[in-house]
Amino acid sequence: MASFKSLPGFRDFYPEDLAPRTHLFRQWRRSAHAYGFQEYDAPVLESLDLYKAKSGDEIENQLFSFTDKGGREVALRPEMTPTVCRMVGAKANALKRPIKWFSIADFFRYERMQKGRGRCFAQFNGDIFGEAGPEAEIELISLLIQCLRGLGLAADDFYVRLSDRNLWFYYLEALGLGEEQVRGMLGAIDKFERLGEAAFEIYTKAHGEMPETLKTAVLRMLAIKSLSDLERLVTELDNEQLTNRLADWRQVLGGLDAMGLSDFVSVDLGVVRGLAYYTGFVFEAFDRKGDLRALAGGGRYDDLVKKLGGPALPAVGFAIGDMTMELLLKERGLLPEVASKPDVYVVVGGGAERLAAFGDIAALREVGYRVDYPMKDLGFGKQFKNATESGARLALIYGEDELAKGVVKLRDLSQREEVEVPRDQVAAAVRDFLSA
């Protein structure tokens, strides 16, 4: 029994574990590039203050933080948003707008292990800076959907719940609530799905009893499931802020509909995301069966860049986690079997044949073919077995007889047929076979 293990909550990636992860990353990168997003990266270690500035002092409990040898308080990054805000903020005036960036990176949180959650995980992060209008939401939500569709998931596998903190603010303020009361109510709404009306205790404890009319009004908003529901409510209330905001909703949903994505999006004001820094539209992606934690989440955060020391810069972003994503893909049979197979497996007779084969092996590898061969002298039977198990489609046979005739045998491993080709035509023959 090995005496060293990986730390709790951290994962080793053996080749068969890395293959699905590589698949996720490759598809995410492809989607982001298709949408014109540029990839960036950043340090894993950041100043602890960066996270305290964004989330408050309590955050430290959930961080991998320590004091470095220079006496600096530092933390492994638990998320990308503060970092990307810092980066964009520092060069905001030199960057062409809109700024469309993405990253794929590891994050660290000191939390209890659970299904779909570990202490080290990867996220795709996509953000748009410098666009205050709903066009940014259209682009970003459609990218989120594409990141999941690119992995083979369809509208009956997942959906995006779209909500809006501004709508709640305008609505609740129209009902007479002050800013603190609104924040308290958003906290309650965040819990409503799980706790039911018991969630309102969060509000009543801090702000006193809820009048029945307030509760009814909140429940009515929570019951909204479509744009037409929303239009009906807003029309009835005849409030200028709400009416203006409704135009944004029409634009976002209209844009997504024009992209053919209506089936992936549902209006659901029960999503508010606990974070205080979100300032407008917020959204979360879930699997339809609903037995996994959220696949992705995001929203608008127009004040954060400034709060972290940059200029005022509107922003909207989202993140997709790798762990829940992988669970869902595995459930749906959408993960690839093996990462890497050779194209060609070379069977060698003995020492002299091995040296003869090396020249051709090197030449084939030089032009990009994946070529493997046994390192020990083995019987032909064993070598063919290895060739089959390697997943190669083609075997090249370098035996005493072949070399004496100046040929090499090409064996089609699936058809069990072989042909002889002259040594100097091996590369061409391999190319013809593999491209056929």
Partner RNA sequence: GCGGCCAUAGCUCAGUUGGUUAGAGCACUAGAUUGUGAUUCUAGGGGUCGCGGGUUCGAUCCCCGUUGGCCGCCCCA
Q: Could you tell me the two tokens for 289? A: 């069966």
Q: For RNA, which residue of 304, 411, 421, 430 counts as binding (CB under 7 A)?
A: 411
Of 233 and 304, nearer to RNA (C-beta) is 304
Crossing angle for the helix pair 179-195 and 212-222, to the nearest 10 degrees: 60
Neighbouring residues of 324: CB distance < 8 A, sequence distance ≥ 6: 116, 292, 293, 294, 295
Q: Under rule CB under 7 A, which residues in 155-214 are in contact with RNA?
A: 191, 194-195
Shortest distance, position 76 Cβ to RNA, whole Å? 10
Listing from the earlier edge strand, what are the strands of the sheet with 407-412? 371-372, 344-348, 394-398, 407-412, 417-422
- Identify the residue among 260, 388, 428, 431 touching RNA (CB under 7 A): 388
In the bound state with RNA, the residue whose beta carbon lies nearer, of 150 and 391, is: 391
Q: Which of 407, 400, 401 is nearest to 422 (CA)?
A: 407
d(CA 146, CA 265) in angstroms, rounded, equals 12
Binding span for RNA by CB under 7 A among 55-63, 66-74, 249-257, 259-267: 55-63
Residue 39's beta-bridge partner residues?
102
> Greatest CA separation found in the chain?
97
Kindly state the smallest distance separating residue 245's Cβ from RNA, in Å: 23
Residues 6+ apart with CB under 8 A from 28: 102, 104, 124, 147, 150, 320
Q: Does 300 bind RNA (CB under 7 A)?
A: no
Q: In whole angstroms, what is the distance from residue 268 CA to residue 249 CA?
A: 12
* Residue 76, both tokens: 């492994």
- Of 263 and 400, which CB lies nearer to RNA in the complex structure? 400
Question: Of the candidates 27, 65, 81, 142, which one interacts with RNA according to CB under 7 A?
Answer: 81
Instruction: Give min distance, CB of 111 to RNA, in A.
Output: 6
Helices 165-174/179-195 angle, 10° precision: 120
Q: Return the range that interacts with RNA (CB under 7 A); candidates 58-66, 84-92, 156-164, 210-218.
A: 58-66
Q: Which amino acid is at 4?
A: F
- Residues 108 and 119 sit within 8 Å (Cβ to Cβ): yes
Q: Is 399 in the site for RNA (CB under 7 A)?
A: yes
Q: Indicate the residue among 21 and 273 with the shorter CB distance to RNA.
A: 273
Binding characters for RNA, 8-37, by CB under 7 A (x = yes): xx----------------------------
Token representation of residue 355: 């040296």
Number of residues that bind RNA (CB under 7 A): 52
Strand pairing report for 73-76 and 65-67: antiparallel
Stretch that binds RNA, among 59-67, 167-175, 229-237, 251-259 (CB under 7 A): 59-67
Using the minimum distance from each CB to RNA, give the nearer residue, 50 or 230.
50
Side-chain half-sphere CA neighbours of 257 within 13 A: 10
Using CB under 7 A as the binding rule, the residues of this chain from 99 to 128 that contact RNA are 109, 111-115, 117
Task: Quote the CA–CA distance of 79 and 51 in Å, as a whole number.
Answer: 9
400 binds RNA, rule: CB under 7 A:
yes
Q: Which stretch binds RNA (CB under 7 A): 74-82, 147-155, 233-241, 257-265?
A: 74-82
User: Does residue 86 contact residue 310 with C-beta atoms inside 8 Å?
Assistant: yes
Q: What H or E segment, with its residue span, contains residue 231?
A: helix 227-237
Q: Which residues pair with 10 in a beta bridge?
A: none
Residue 198 CB, shortest distance to RNA, in Å, is: 10
Candidate ranges 28-36, 134-142, 336-344, 386-394; the one touching RNA (CB under 7 A): 386-394
Taking contact as CB under 7 A, which single stretch among the options 129-137, 253-261, 263-271, 407-415 is the one that binds RNA? 407-415
Q: Does 135 help bind RNA (rule: CB under 7 A)?
A: no
337 binds RNA (CB under 7 A): no
Q: Contact between 52 and RNA (CB under 7 A)?
A: no
274 binds RNA (CB under 7 A): yes
Q: How many Cα atoms sit within 13 Å of 36 on the Cβ side?
A: 9
Work out which of 382, 419, 422, 425 binds RNA, going by CB under 7 A: 382
Pairing of strands 99-108, 45-47: unpaired
Binding site for RNA (CB under 7 A): 1, 8-9, 51, 55, 59, 62-63, 78-79, 81, 109, 111-115, 117, 191, 194-195, 273-275, 293, 297, 319, 349, 376, 378-382, 384-385, 387-389, 397, 399-402, 409, 411-416, 418
